[in-house]
């Protein structure tokens, strides 16, 4: 039967065979991602952009938590560095209301890159702690960043605008504004405003972030970090300098957060300190766990789940049982509470029943079926380890990762 359908479509299937079905599916997915600006309202575009922010940040955090086994609750701080960094670097010094705001007035694209680097510098500056502290100690120490950051955002008014924040200058690439410019740009009859244009900018960023993370994980750094996570001593014996790798992982991860923060600033058009709370850090941890620790695709899936779920529930609360819409007089569970219950439960259930996260569920039957292969046995650890059950994920680096990446 499969032969017949193949013969009927020889010209297509020849090329398809060269690509392989997984890539085709990925390609189709990518193409579909190009469509939303043509169809969706600004609400969904805004939600989608916030989801992209979450995806980038989660991929970065996953490098740290999933691969290096280091806990960070301070990543909201690095998002703030990226967001405020971009705004300060790209904006001109000017007076807004009663506040004098400073700025460097760099070209936006340059400011974006510089903001990412700035977040990296901030991450590197934390290396006396991030290199030396392990696991839980680092987790609590990074909490400090949230509090320091909040203090700075409120007090350094000439940079941040204080409590009310400041307006984010529009992105501009090669003369094309990515804001709501009145240049009459329309694609296929759909007028393209700021959100529509930013959508594609966000997509490019996500793609770059995902590819870079994938290469990093496949290569020497990924294997070294995984080895560190599973056994520091064993890794050291194999010639991995622990402190340097840990600090480097922290720095790279904070650069991801910086890029996410700068995109967040662009999508929100105004940055205020309240975005960057401990809650954001916790949400990001939830994302990578729900999606699947140590996997790029997992981080992305988890990020989309956690950031889109509350909006879906709020939007369709009228149609859902048990959930009541905002402002309705009926008793019932508000959609915001419902979303928090759902994602709290998802977090707990994932860890208990599917420690591999969303991707492991898909990666199980579906992926096996797609390839028509039996699921490979868990490879034996390549390094001696004291942990009771060495994970497959990172110890063997490349091999198992392929399974998780589309």
Partner 1 sequence: MNTLAQTLFNGMALGSVYALVALGFCLVFKASGAVNFAHGSLLLLGGYLVAVLHEPLGFAGALAVAAAGTAAAAAVEALVLRRVARANGPAVPTILTIGVDILLLTELARRIGGDVLGTGDPWGAEVLTIGGVTVAQARFYSLLAAALLVGAFLAAFRWTGWGLSMRAYSSDAEAAALMGVRGDRLRMSAWLLAGALAAVAAVFLAAFPGTGIDRTTGQIALAAFPAAVLGGLGSVGGALLGSVVVGMAEALATGYQQQLSGLGSGLAEVVPYAVMVLILIVRPQGLLGAKESTRV
Partner 2 sequence: MNRRKFLAAAAAATSLAVVLAGCSTKGGESAATTDKSGIKTGPGITKDKISVGVLTDLSGPVAPLGKSALQAEQLYLKQVNVAGGVCGRTIELVVRDHGLDVQKAVAAYAEIEPQIAALGQLSGSAQTAALLDGIEKDKLQSIQIGASGTVLGKPHLRLMASTYDIDMVNGVGFLVKAAKLKKGDKVGHVYVEGEYGGNAAEGAEFAAKKAGLTLVAQTVKPTDKDLTAQVTALRAAGVKAIVFSGVPAQTASLVGVAAATGLKVPVLASAPAYVPQLLATPAKPALEKMLYVASPWPALSVDTPSVKKLVDDYTKAYPKDPVNQAAQAGNAAGSLLVGTLKAACEAKDLSRDGISKALRSLTAYAEGFHEPQNFSDPAKASSTKTYIAQPAAGVPGGMKQIQDATEDPWLAEYLAAHGG
Which residue from 121, 129, 143, 167 is in contact with partner 2, where contact means CB under 8 A? 167
Rule CB under 8 A: which of 186-205 touch partner 1? none
Rule CB under 8 A: which of 361-390 touch partner 2? 370, 372
Could you tell me how many residues of this chain bind partner 1 (CB under 8 A)?
A: 58
Report the partner that residue 71 touches, choosing among partner 1, partner 2, none (CB closer than 5 to 8 A by kind). partner 1
Q: Which is nearer to partner 1, 10 or 389 (CB)?
A: 389
Strands 333-334 and 323-324: parallel
Helix residue spans in 269-380 (DSSP H): 278-291, 296-315, 335-353, 358-371
User: Which CA distances in Å does 73 have to 183, 234, 276, 349?
Assistant: 42, 27, 11, 21
User: Which CA distances in Å does 143 have to 48, 146, 220, 301, 352?
Assistant: 28, 5, 30, 25, 26
Stretch that binds partner 1, among 100-108, 232-240, 249-257, 365-373 (CB under 8 A): 232-240
User: Which CA distances in Å does 112 have to 3, 82, 115, 207, 226?
Assistant: 51, 8, 5, 16, 31
The helix (run of H) or strand (run of E) holding residue 190 is strand 190-191
The helix (run of H) or strand (run of E) holding residue 187 is strand 186-187
Q: Which residue has the tokens 């804001």?
A: 179
Tokens of 344: 């709290």
253 to 292: interface string for partner 1, x by CB under 8 A:
-------------------------x---x--xx--x---
Q: Is 133 one of the binding residues for partner 1 (CB under 8 A)? A: yes
**Shortest reach from residue 327's CB to partner 2, in Å:** 3
Q: How many residues does the chain have?
A: 406
**Shortest reach from residue 230's CB to partner 2, in Å:** 36
Rule CB under 8 A: which of 376-395 touch partner 1? 384, 386-393
Q: For residues 364 and 396, give the distance between their C-alpha atoms in angstroms, rounded to a whole number.
A: 18
Q: Is 163 one of the binding residues for partner 1 (CB under 8 A)? A: no
Q: Is 325 one of the binding residues for partner 2 (CB under 8 A)? A: yes
Q: Which is nearer to partner 2, 128 or 274 (CB)?
A: 274
Q: For residues 243 and 246, give the distance between their C-alpha atoms in angstroms, rounded to a whole number.
A: 5
**Shortest reach from residue 136's CB to partner 1, in Å:** 5
246 to 285: interface string for partner 2, x by CB under 8 A:
----------------------xxx-xxxx---x------
User: Which CA distances in Å does 108 have to 82, 265, 290?
Assistant: 13, 12, 34
Q: For residues 112 and 260, give the distance between their C-alpha atoms in angstroms, rounded to a whole number.
A: 10
Give contact residues for partner 2 (rule: CB under 8 A). 1-3, 5-6, 9, 12-13, 16-17, 21, 24-25, 27-29, 31-32, 34-35, 38-43, 45-47, 50, 97-98, 154, 163-165, 167, 180, 187-191, 195, 268-270, 272-275, 279, 310-311, 314-315, 325-328, 334-337, 370, 372
């Amino acid at each position: 039967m499969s032969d017949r359908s193949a013969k009927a479509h020889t010209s297509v299937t020849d090329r398809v065979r060269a690509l392989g079905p997984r890539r085709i599916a990925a390609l189709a997915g990518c193409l579909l991602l190009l469509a939303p600006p043509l169809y969706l309202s600004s609400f969904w575009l805004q939600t989608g952009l916030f989801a992209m922010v979450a995806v980038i940040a989660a991929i970065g955090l996953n490098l740290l938590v999933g691969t290096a086994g280091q806990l960070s609750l301070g990543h909201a701080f690095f998002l703030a560095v990226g967001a405020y960094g971009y705004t300060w670097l790209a904006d001109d010094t000017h007076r807004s209301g009663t506040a004098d705001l400073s700025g460097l007035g760099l070209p936006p694209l340059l400011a974006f890159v510089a903001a990412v680097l700035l977040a990296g510098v901030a991450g590197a500056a934390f290396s006396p702690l991030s290199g030396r502290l392990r696991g839980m100690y680092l987790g609590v120490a990074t909490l400090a960043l949230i509090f320091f950051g909040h203090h700075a955002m409120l007090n350094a008014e000439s940079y941040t605008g204080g409590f009310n924040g400041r307006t984010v200058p529009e992105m501009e690439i090669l003369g094309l504004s990515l804001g709501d410019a009145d240049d009459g740009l329309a694609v296929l009859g759909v007028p393209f405003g700021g959100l529509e244009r930013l959508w594609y900018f966000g997509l490019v960023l996500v793609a770059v972030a995902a590819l870079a993370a994938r290469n990093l994980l496949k290569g020497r750094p990924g294997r070294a970090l995984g080895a560190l996570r599973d056994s520091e001593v064993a890794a050291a014996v194999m010639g991995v300098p622990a402190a340097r790798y840990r600090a480097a992982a922290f720095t790279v991860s904070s650069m991801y957060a910086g890029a996410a923060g700068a995109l967040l600033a662009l999508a929100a058009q105004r940055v205020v300190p309240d975005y960057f709370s401990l809650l954001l850090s916790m949400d990001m941890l939830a994302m990578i766990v729900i999606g699947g620790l140590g996997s790029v695709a997992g981080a992305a899936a988890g990020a989309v789940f956690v950031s889109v779920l509350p909006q879906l529930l709020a939007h369709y609360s009228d149609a859902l049982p048990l959930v009541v819409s905002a402002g309705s007089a009926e008793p019932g569970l508000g959609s915001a509470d419902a979303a928090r219950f759902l994602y709290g439960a998802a977090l707990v259930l994932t860890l208990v029943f599917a420690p591999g996260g969303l991707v492991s569920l898909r990666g199980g039957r579906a992926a096996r079926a797609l390839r028509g292969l039996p699921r490979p046995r868990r490879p034996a650890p390549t390094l001696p380890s004291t942990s009771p059950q060495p994970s497959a994920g990172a110890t063997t680096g490349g091999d198992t990762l392929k399974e998780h990446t589309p």
